[in-house]
A and B are shown apart, each in its own frame.
Chain A
Amino acid sequence: MTDLLNQILTGLSIASILLLVSLGLAIIYGAMGVINLAHGDFLMLGAYAVWLMESVFGLGFLPCLILVFFIVGAVGWLVERTLIRHLYGRPLDTILATWGVGIILQQGIRLGAGAQLRYVKMPDYLVSPIHVFGVDISAYRVLIFAVTIILVAITYLLIFRTGFGIRLRAVMQNAEIARCFGINNARIYSLTFAYGAGLAGLAGALVSPLKSVSPDMGTNYVVDAFLVVVSGGVQSLFGTVASAGIIGEMSGGFAYLWNDTLARALLFFLVVVLIRFRPQGLFAMQLRRG
């Protein structure tokens, strides 16, 4: 019984990290249709921002998280204003351009902060595990889980319960008609992109004390994020949440039964099969693209 519980919790923990790293991408890819290959590097930027603020300015971890959201969000806003906005409706060019942005960010960090692994401190009160239902779980992973749920809730409210959300959904459904109703598309796009980038930065900051911080850390996460978003169904927040849950539990289960190398290969295989038979993903919404 505790074994099963342990396994479910392990899966949930993997799932929450997956959801955390793919949420920003779900917004940018889902809402705007921009295939953002720099997503992993926004994440990396978030990890470096927290490292810089901790080690140079001596800020605490939690205040850093809030600042990181705005810093990386600002970088995202800048990238959208100067580059992405000229490429709407040209998906192939966007892929190339965002990939280029990713390389620039990576090499910029390499030049500025050096190529070595960087140390982000885990807050002392989160290092020890906590007991839940007779099993030990990492307090830090519980924090990640909680923050992820909060972020999903905020994102949901933002899209479905605010004026900004109504305008965003209008632009998603039909950009031309939305403009006829006086909605400033350009502004909606910039803010959405900035929000997605900010989420990516926050994700990077949150995983950095548990994993490692290096200039090329984003590469692995961007693959995970696309895996989750594509199999969940583009434009579906619920789909992203559900597919992060399924992929997390499956990869935890496979890794437990066999090993991580095989788990990863098997997961990719299953996603390829899924996309072959259900290209729109598991939980696709029917929306027209503007």
Chain B
Amino acid sequence: MHVNRRSLVKSALGLGVVGAAGFPHIWIKSADRAYAAGGDIKVGVLYSLTGTTAIIETSLNHATLMAIDEINAAGGVNGRKLVPVVEDPESDPATFAQKARKLVLSDRCVSVFGSYTSASRKAVLPVFEKYNNLYWYPTLYEGRECSQNVIYTGAVPNQQQKEFIPWLVKNFGKRFYLIGSNYIYPKEENNVCKILLKQLGGEVVGEEYVPLGHSEFSSVIQKFQDTKPNVIFSTVVGDSVVALHRQYKAAGLDPAKMPMASLTTSEEEIAAMGGEFAAGHFTSAPYFMSYDSPENHKFVEAYQKRWGAGKVTNFVSEPAYFQVHLFAKAASKLGASDLHPAEIRKAAWGETFQAPEGLVKIDGDNSHTYLWPKIGEAQVNGQFKIIQQSAEWVKPLPYWAYQGEVCTPTGMMEKKS
């Protein structure tokens, strides 16, 4: 056979093409090896340890690391250990995006657990969507999002409000005053509240948003006194929660007649304001530290043993904890060669876990989570007394307030008319 230089080049090119197109598993294999490098599985932990939201996000970081340790102590995922790669995004959305890119591209994490604020989640979304990785988000939020690359384990409005609002109407009356901080979350929650109130024949006697960080509530309280609502529905966040509760009591208002019903007041805020200012007000959430279940006793005990006796668990740190277990259960269904983010997402659909709040399940339609809403009454000792809990888990409906908009497994929102 006569071989000249030209035919040699041709056949080499041909082999190359065949190699790339005909045997794609060669390339995928190498990617797989990277996801389970050295038999370990790398996962990202992306919660701020410094900056404005560091307090709450540190508790999420702690809950996540504790869950990872538990999984590893129990033998890991099919014998492979989870290795957390911890980054500090400094409460800054731009830094969130930058650290997310590092975790996905250079550390090759197969999933990342992270974010507290919606702003930081929105900032990392393009990274996870571009590289088709998977983000696990533990915070309750306003809904109206449906990314293919996020698993949402916090409550959406229908889960926190569907039983709460009728309960408030039945026990206190139909006249509601809506007070919130001035940004997207309170506005979306109030949209849902208004729809529910309309169905129940209730009435909104006032709706108001105060600037973030606002601490002078005398005018707001004067309006409470003027309009005399039956319920003050509060989605005020952060420091303002503390100021509002204190000034409410100092002005002589009585929780027995005009309670504040909140979606955002947790054990953390009560510790800062003092139990006597919170007592008698209500919060709706899937988890309270005082909830009586064997899983929760174990969770609280382990948390305090690991991170300090005085530490409190709350309705954000609990999902941050159980979502790691859900991840591990989903990942353990996959073989080494299938271990990549898209497969984990599929495996996670329908996955359940006996969490501190009850048995939770990831919904296959919208990647949000079935949860157990509860109504808690704040006590002088800083804990909640659980007044009522839902009889069954509640399906997450992130587009509940928007008729004709739904979330589908392809991640897209569809208009059904």
Residues of A within 8 A of B (CB): 3, 6-7, 10, 13-14, 17, 114-119, 121-122, 126-129, 136-141, 209-214, 216-217, 220, 251-252, 255-256, 259-261, 263-264
Is the Cβ of B208 less than 8 Å from the Cβ of A260?
yes
Closest CB in chain A relative to B146 CB, distance in Å:
30
A141 to B243, CA, bound (A): 13
Is the Cβ of A256 less than 8 Å from the Cβ of B219?
yes
Is the Cβ of A122 less than 8 Å from the Cβ of B250?
yes
Is the Cβ of A119 less than 8 Å from the Cβ of B272?
yes
Is the Cβ of A7 less than 8 Å from the Cβ of B222?
yes
Is the Cβ of A259 less than 8 Å from the Cβ of B243?
no
Which one of B209-217, B298-306, B352-360 is at the A interface? B209-217
A118 to B239, CA, bound (A): 10
A121 to B215, CA, bound (A): 17
Is the Cβ of A210 less than 8 Å from the Cβ of B250?
yes
B246 in the interface, Cβ–Cβ < 8 Å?
yes
Is the Cβ of A216 less than 8 Å from the Cβ of B246?
no
Interface majority SS on B: helix, strand, loop or mixed?
helix
Q: Beyond the given A7-B222, A211-B239, could you list 8 further A-B residue pairs with CB under 8 A, ordered by the A residue number?
A: A6-B222, A17-B216, A115-B55, A117-B269, A122-B274, A212-B242, A213-B272, A255-B220
Is the Cβ of B246 less than 8 Å from the Cβ of A260?
no
Q: What is the chain A residue whose CB lies nearest that of B51?
A: A115
Contact with A along B209-250 (1 / 0, CB 8 A): 111011110111011011000000000000110110011011
Residues of B within 8 A of A126 (CB): 250
Residues of B within 8 A of A140 (CB): 250
Residues of B within 8 A of A13 (CB): 218
Is the Cβ of B222 less than 8 Å from the Cβ of A10?
yes
B380 in the interface, Cβ–Cβ < 8 Å?
no
Is the Cβ of A14 less than 8 Å from the Cβ of B218?
yes
Is the Cβ of B213 less than 8 Å from the Cβ of A220?
yes
Across chains A and B, which 5 residue pairs bring their CB atoms closest together, nearest first?
Answer: A129-B252, A117-B272, A255-B219, A212-B242, A138-B250
Is the Cβ of B247 less than 8 Å from the Cβ of A138?
yes
Which of B209, B240, B250, B273 makes the CB contact (< 8 A) with A139? Answer: B250
B182 in the interface, Cβ–Cβ < 8 Å?
yes
Query: Knowing A119-B272, A127-B276 touch, does A14 contact B216 (C-beta < 8 A)?
Result: yes
Q: What is the chain B residue whose CB lies nearest that of A216?
A: B52
Is the Cβ of B218 less than 8 Å from the Cβ of A252?
yes
Query: Knowing A209-B246, A256-B222 touch, does A116 contact B272 (C-beta < 8 A)?
Result: yes
Q: What is the chain A residue whose CB lies nearest that of B247?
A: A210
Is the Cβ of B182 less than 8 Å from the Cβ of A261?
yes
A-B contact pairs, 25 of them (CB 8 A): A7-B222, A10-B219, A13-B218, A14-B216, A117-B239, A117-B268, A117-B272, A118-B272, A119-B274, A121-B274, A122-B250, A129-B252, A136-B251, A138-B247, A138-B251, A210-B250, A212-B215, A212-B242, A212-B273, A255-B220, A259-B208, A260-B208, A260-B211, A260-B214, A260-B216
Query: Knowing A7-B222, A116-B55 touch, does A129 contact B215 (C-beta < 8 A)?
Result: no
Q: What is the chain A residue whose CB lies nearest that of B221?
A: A10
B54 in the interface, Cβ–Cβ < 8 Å?
yes
Is the Cβ of B251 less than 8 Å from the Cβ of A259?
no
B374-388 contacts to A, CB under 8 A, are: none
Kindly name the residue among A139, A212, A263 whose own CB sees the greatest number of chain B CB atoms within 10 A.
A212
